[in-house]
Amino acid sequence: MNRERIDFGKGKRLLVKGGKLDTQYQITVPKEFYGV
């Protein structure tokens, strides 16, 4: 998958409350998914 061709838009994204923010992609994911 070419990540350069994917447009996630701008700003922070939130999948779950109380998750962990991935600063590279500006998305909050469940803590158990962080760093996978």
- pLDDT tens for 2-35 read 878 888 778 888 878 888 988 888 888 888 888 7
Q: For residues 19 and 35, what is the distance between their CA atoms, to the nearest angstrom?
A: 12
The answer, as to whether pTM is greater than 0.85, is no
Q: Based on the number of CB atoms within 10 Å of its own CB, is 20 exposed (0-12), middle (13-18) or buried (19 or more)?
A: middle
- Angstrom CA distances, 32 to 1, 8, 29, stand at 23, 22, 8
Please report the pLDDT score of residue 11 as a whole number. 80
